A = this chain, B = another copy of it.
Amino acid sequence: MKNNPSQNTNKLVNSLRPIKKRTRDMEVIDALIAMIEQAGLKVGDRLPTENELAKQLEVGRSTIREALKAWQGMGIITRNKGAGTILEAEIFSNSVFVPISLRLEAESLLRTHSVRGVLEIEASKLAAANANDEQRKLIAAKFDILIDEFEKGNDWRAADAEFHTAINDASDNPLFGQMINQLHDVFHNIYEEPFGQAKLGQASIPLHRALSEAVVKGDVDGAGRAMQAIVDLVQTEVQAMINEQ
């Protein structure tokens, strides 16, 4: 083996970062983000039509369409033939999107639930530690609503979601809430397909009292244990449902 320059050049090359290729529709995306920020468009608002955008940005309509298609794939917008294009998610100039793919199977029910459980337990502990007075009051109030709906025999799922959202918001790390919500959606997408819409978690509602109280009084370990108990109970429900099937 002779004197080989490739080793040296490799080290040099490794210190380089790939040059970003900027295609036209990336610039369209940037322009759209700027437009949305400047116009103050909120979730649910309608975007300008494709033709308007094309004329304004001086590009072809197909280019606009391809850019919008990428956003549609990421769930940022929805498009309706005959109607228009609706903004579905908050978007900022420095946003980054992380797509995670899952396979929809019975087993992934347990998997998503167990990952979500880990995150929710941590978020509960953080909430117990970090929540301010206002947030603690909100959590207590959401719990009252939840237990009220539950005891009246109403559909408590919306109240349950609000209760958990209040806790996740109080964790001081919005990423927990985001990921938990996404996993929640996936979870329900999975089990509603093959299993119909069972009210999973019914038995765990009474356990929420301990969670609420622990978070409100700042008992970090207690919050963790309470949430753990809820997660465990739901898991046995899921397991039973899978076995039945």
Interface, chain A (partner B; CB < 8 A): 14-15, 17, 23, 62, 65-66, 69-76, 81, 89-92, 94-105, 108, 111-112, 114-115, 118-119, 122, 155, 173-176, 178-179, 182-183, 185-186, 189-190, 192, 197
Contacts and interface: CB of A to CB of B under 8 A. Distances in A.
A17 B74 contact: no
Given A89-B101, A102-B175, A111-B175, 10 more contacts: A62-B62, A69-B73, A73-B97, A95-B101, A96-B190, A97-B99, A97-B101, A98-B183, A114-B173, A118-B118
Contacts of A105: 94
Contacts of A197: 15, 17
Nearest to A15: B197
A110 to B, nearest CB: 8
Contacts of A100: 97-100, 175, 178-179, 182
A-B pairs with lowest CB-CB distance, top 4: A70-B73, A94-B104, A73-B73, A98-B100
A77 to B, nearest CB: 11
A192 B192 CA distance: 41
A104 B178 CA distance: 15
Contacts of A96: 101-104, 186, 189-190
A42 B173 CA distance: 37
Contact of A69 (B66, B122, B192): B66
A16 to B, nearest CB: 10
Contacts of A186: 96, 98
